[in-house]
Structure 1
Amino acid sequence: MMRIRQVMVSTMLAVICLLSTHAALADAGEALLDAVMTGQTARVAILLDAGVSPEVASGPGEHEGKTALMWAAETGRSEIADLLLQYGAEVDRANPKGGTALMYAAVSGHVEVIHLLVAAGADPRHRVRHGWTPLLLATAKGHVEAVRALATHGADLDTRDVYGWTLLMRAVERTDPVMVSALLALGLDPAIGDGNGLDAFEIARRQADPSLLDLLKRR
């Protein structure tokens, strides 16, 4: 009987210890995400040195599966992103929707982070459902320098979204002459359409924007 009680007590203590460890790890993970989001580079380094995994990610909710590296990329914190990569963060890990850290950097226009991630092995041609790529996201958000950076890293300039729209078509739809000029300079052809009779010229006509139409015609 005494032996059975000793075993039960030992088992309970082991379970309590395990639960405490899991709670501590969860708290440490939350602390790392908070440090990344608030730009506390030194705190991030301390937590990583202490053994907190660089792969921690946000839990259920709007940001489910968003890793520390994705948060650093979205907020443009290149030093923190570099730290996370040095400690083993997976550069192209995807969230439940397929998004990667490079896509977060692209949609926010953080050029330095884009260079860092691609140098670490991020795929500039990564594509998620609906056809979105880092380059399409940067174009849709009007981040000209991010588009140029991705182009230098081999992003597919001929990429199309799920509707067959080209980068130029998206830029014209946004009535973004700066982006249109940048894409034309990269060699995109405004006459290439979606296969259903719609191209950059036609979108400019529908937008009733003579300056954009003239810009395309000069190309």
Structure 2
Amino acid sequence: MQEANLLKERKVCDCAECGTAIYIKLGPSGGYYFQHGLKEKGVRQPKCIYRNMIGPIFEDEDPDSLNCDDAIKRFNLSTKNPRFVCEEGGWSYMTAVGPYGGFAIKQKNREVFDFDELAKMKKNEILELISSEKYQSVLNLINLNPVKIPKSLTKELLLEKIRESFFIDEKIIKKLSKDELVNLAKLLEIVFYRGRFRMKVDDATKNNLINKITIEKKNKPLDTPQKALTIQSDEILDLFGTQK
């Protein structure tokens, strides 16, 4: 049986972006997948948007019937390169396939505050919030030149100034030490997971800390992995309960 399955391994085509061969390979658990190039010790693939990527082949598909277009579509289902579906209300909506199946993603640049919620508060409540020890600690980590926000501003201008002062700049975040990143993640109450299990912030890698601090992301499971390839904007917005 294993030998018969191995016969379905083959070169599909050469990548149109870089000329590297794209293969169908048999995985350790018996399923097939697309692979960009072969991983050889000491051999570096040419620079390419698909370099070293793999893409899923679904259980009900015959690998013999799949072609280069299928491979490229599946590379766009990797967690590093998810399939873009739409944008709505400042969020980007995407899909991907991971080790636990297909899932939908909504993400945007992280903000320290929910400005819709701030707008509902009274001006004195907002001033009290931003001057608290917690948010002053956040400000000192994300802003190299924090300026005291005048209390005399109108509420509208106050919110604009807060957005500007508390802006999370990726360039600044990348220069923080691991300890500073851990402290900031805790102040922002960011939750970290390893697989499906919650993990301690201190155990996160520096890259993971930077990614989670700069990008706010929410995931929802899909009924089937195949859905990641076909779901459209109305369906994905409905999945997250987003109103157009």
The TM-score range, normalised by the shorter chain, is: under 0.3
TM-score (ref. length: structure 2): 0.24
TM-score (ref. length: structure 1): 0.26
> With CA pairs under 8 Å and 6+ residues apart, which has the higher RCO, 1 or 2?
2
